[in-house]
Amino acid sequence: MFDFEKILNLPSPLAPLTDTAFDEKALKVYVKRDDLIHAQISGNKWRKLKYNLLQAKSKGYSKLITFGGAHSNHLYAMAAAGKYLGFETRGIIRGDELNENSSITLQYTHQCGMQLLFVTREAYRDKENLLSIYRKDDEYIVPEGGSNALAMAGVAEMYQEITSQLGYAPDYIFCPIGSGGTMAGLINATDQTRIMGVCVLKNAEYLETEILNLIENKAHQNKKNFRFFHDFHQGGYAKNTPELKSFIEWFQQKHGFDIEHVYSGKMFYAFYQLLKSEIRPDSTVVLIHTGGLRRFCQK
Ligand SMILES: Cc1ncc(COP(=O)(O)O)c(C=O)c1O
């Protein structure tokens, strides 16, 4: 096994968030600062990668292959995990018009030593076919976004950290939904906390079924202790609006830490919008900062 604990800040801090808006309902609000786990292998990416990497190692693989777009947080974290934890990595990249200088993410993955394979957007849709063409026998496959059954165990550890840091189970946890792996892992981990998922994509109701399919613990699935919110995507994936921009500026100034507009910004914004109508008085709420920032980007 590799000694990842030396380079990771675990358990990640659970920081109180204060605002007079919370006092009116006597809410205790905390932020789970998973963005501080590591400068590059941060947020829910570490949670989702951990057991994939351990499985690769225990099966004797030292090479990893995965997929991603030019701005993929997953690709970025995978490249960093390769560099820091001693895996050779290759990434199949969506867009054959791109190169290793096309984005900060691709530049960083390249600097980490990840080999980048650029394919057309059409070819990218058929992952099985791409693997049959590109994958070498000695490469372990990590799925796009890292959301698979092994990711559930890593997300469950985040939930356990929260309950032991608080000393009890919170009433609500808010998280952003991209592929849904993080929300599924949280629902799987608890039947005491209501999981509030804020979808960052437009027209993504189909994700509800995908999330329910990922939940292994059918008892938790049946308890329906979770909610999906589809009205906070701001026009679609990675889209920003003047309202979201000014919320993020206000939030960062007030609370003193950075959030980004693709995932965490939409989730924090949704929480502020929903706290009056959807949160019971006297509750404890935990908001997951899932990372996604590039401010620590180093060469
Ligand atoms: C920073 C960040 N936050 C949240 C998410 C959403 O997580 P999930 O895909 O597990 O729903 C992702 C990735 O998809 C992400 O990169």
For the chain, what are the domain ranges? 4-40+149-289, 62-137
| Both tokens assigned to 33 | 């600062």
For residues 279 and 251, give the distance between their C-alpha atoms in angstroms, rounded to a whole number. Answer: 20
- What is the CATH number assigned to the segment(s) 4-40+149-289? 3.40.50.1100
C-alpha 60 – ligand 1 centre gap (Å): 28
Helix (H) or strand (E) holding 74: helix 73-85
Task: State which ligand 1 atom lies nearest to the alpha carbon of 35.
Answer: 1
For residues 43 and 22, give the distance between their C-alpha atoms in angstroms, rounded to a whole number. Answer: 25
Regarding the beta carbon of 268 and ligand 1, being less than 6 Å apart is answered no
CATH architecture, domain 62-137: 3-Layer(aba) Sandwich (3.40)
Regarding the beta carbon of 178 and ligand 1, being less than 6 Å apart is answered yes
Helix (H) or strand (E) holding 210: helix 206-214
Residue pLDDT tens, the chain, 299 long: 567 778 999 999 999 999 999 999 999 999 999 999 999 999 999 999 999 999 999 999 999 999 999 999 999 999 999 999 999 999 999 999 999 999 999 999 999 999 999 999 999 999 999 999 999 999 999 999 888 889 999 999 999 999 999 999 999 999 999 999 999 999 999 999 999 999 999 999 999 999 999 998 888 888 889 999 999 999 999 999 999 999 999 999 999 999 999 999 999 999 999 999 999 999 999 999 999 997 544 43
Across-strand partners of 16? Answer: 30
Nearest protein Cα to ligand 1, atom 1: 292
> Same fold for the domain at 4-40+149-289 and the one at 62-137?
yes
Helix (H) or strand (E) holding 158: helix 149-166
pLDDT score at 220: 85
**Single-letter amino acid, residue 59:** K
